[in-house]
């Protein structure tokens, strides 16, 4: 497969305060592949996605590193082709409440495909039907508040498809949805990826979602990637103590293993008050004096498997 997305030494910070939110992140994504970003809230997963989509909030900037799509370095402002689309974790608040669903989709179709009038309306109807919304013609006249959270997420996915993206970024796409709707949305994303061949960058704190959708996973902590691996290897042979702790937090329904989840002690440190050395060492049972001296460099612990840890966990 050809490299679609390449991120090298990415640094994102609040320039006014000098606080680094993303600190030297590296990863790549092949066409048609899915990469999952995992970690607790505040670890930099969403901000990494915003940087890739060129949608960083005001007051936050990329200050170092490169983001390339098909070898073309992306600059501030609108991303160059191939296109990138993003769906968010709170679809209802992401939709403009004063515009109809039809206006929302048809505007995107005009911007990305040059469609307008009847052609845009017919394509908007087709997109709604493709994401599982029936009575599409009537739904175009509806407003976001008239839809459920799950239906609004489907609208967000239809809006993303209007851009014909080569890369779809999904930031916690099933947050705040009930379990049945979550399963439907995940199944829809799986179908669309297979149908269109687009790559997928998905953010989730739920390792079950990552296990279902992703080919590879990257574990983030305090703005750094601490482990990357094929998703099966990560779940079976996590090497970084933080990744292993995340897996131990997962509940199980295995009747032969009914041990309760083990919580991770402590909390994620504030980005403007990070500990010296490895950022995870205050919470790590394997920490030593070496862990306070410097942040460990990523090292191979298996085929296509890297971990940034002085004392990796053995299989």
pLDDT in the model for residue 10: 96
Tokens 């936050």, residue? Answer: 60
In a domain, 88, yes or no: no
In a domain, 157, yes or no: no
Range of the domain at 292: 3-80+205-307
Residue 129 and residue 121: Cα distance in Å, rounded? 12
The answer to whether 160 touches 173, Cβ cutoff 8 Å, is no
Q: In what order do the strands lie in the sheet with 216-221?
A: 84-87, 167-171, 199-203, 34-38, 216-221, 224-230, 305-307, 299-302
- Give the domain CATH number at 234: 3.40.50.300
Q: Is the pTM of this model over 0.75?
A: yes
* Residue partners of 134: CB distance under 8 A and separation at least 6: none
Within a domain: residue 196? no
Q: Does residue 60 sit within a domain?
A: yes
Mean pLDDT of each 10-residue bin along the chain, 315 residues long: 88 93 95 94 93 92 92 62 81 89 94 93 95 92 93 93 93 85 91 92 90 95 96 94 92 71 89 94 94 93 94 82
Q: Is there a domain that residue 164 lies in?
A: no
Going by C-alpha positions, the residue among 279, 247, 285 that lies closest to residue 265 is 285
pLDDT attached to residue 94: 85
Residue 194 resides in a domain = no
Q: Is 55 part of a structural domain of the chain?
A: yes
Q: Is residue 174 part of a domain?
A: no
Cβ neighbourhood burial of 273 (10 Å; 0-12, 13-18, 19+): exposed
The structural domain count of the chain equals 1
DSSP per-residue string spanning 214-282: -SEEEEEETTEEEEEEEHHHHHHH--SHHHHHHHHTS----TT--PPP-PPSS-PPPTTSPPSSSTTGG
């Amino acid at each position: 497969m050809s490299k679609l997305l390449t991120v090298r030494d990415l640094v994102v910070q609040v320039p006014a305060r000098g606080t680094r939110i993303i600190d030297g992140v590296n990863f790549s994504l092949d066409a048609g592949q899915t990469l999952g970003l995992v970690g607790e809230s505040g670890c930099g997963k969403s901000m990494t996605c915003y940087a890739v989509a060129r949608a960083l909030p005001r007051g936050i900037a990329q200050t170092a590193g490169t983001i390339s799509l098909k070898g073309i370095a992306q600059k501030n402002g609108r991303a160059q082709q191939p296109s990138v689309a993003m769906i968010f974790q709170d679809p209802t608040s992401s939709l403009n409440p004063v515009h109809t669903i039809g206006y929302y989709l048809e505007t995107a179709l005009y911007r990305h495909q040059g469609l307008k009038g009847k052609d845009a309306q017919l394509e908007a109807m087709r997109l709604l039907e493709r994401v599982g919304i029936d009575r599409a013609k009537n739904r175009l006249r509806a407003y976001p508040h008239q839809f459920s959270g799950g239906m609004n997420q489907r609208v967000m996915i239809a809006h993303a498809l209007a851009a014909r993206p080569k890369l779809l970024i999904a930031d916690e796409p099933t947050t705040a949805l009930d379990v049945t709707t979550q399963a439907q949305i995940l199944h829809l994303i799986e179908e669309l990826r297979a149908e269109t061949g687009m790559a997928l960058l998905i953010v989730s704190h739920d390792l079950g979602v990552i296990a279902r959708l992703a080919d590879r996973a990257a574990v983030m902590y305090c703005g750094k990637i601490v482990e990357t691996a094929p998703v099966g290897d990560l779940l079976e042979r996590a090497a970084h103590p933080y990744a292993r702790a995340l897996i131990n937090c997962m509940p199980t329904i295995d009747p032969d293993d009914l041990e309760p989840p083990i919580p991770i002690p402590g909390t994620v440190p504030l980005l403007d008050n990070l500990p010296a050395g490895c950022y995870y060492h205050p919470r790590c049972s394997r920490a030593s004096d070496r862990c306070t001296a410097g942040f460990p460099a990523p090292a191979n612990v298996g085929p296509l498997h890297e971990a940034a840890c002085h004392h990796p966990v053995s299989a």
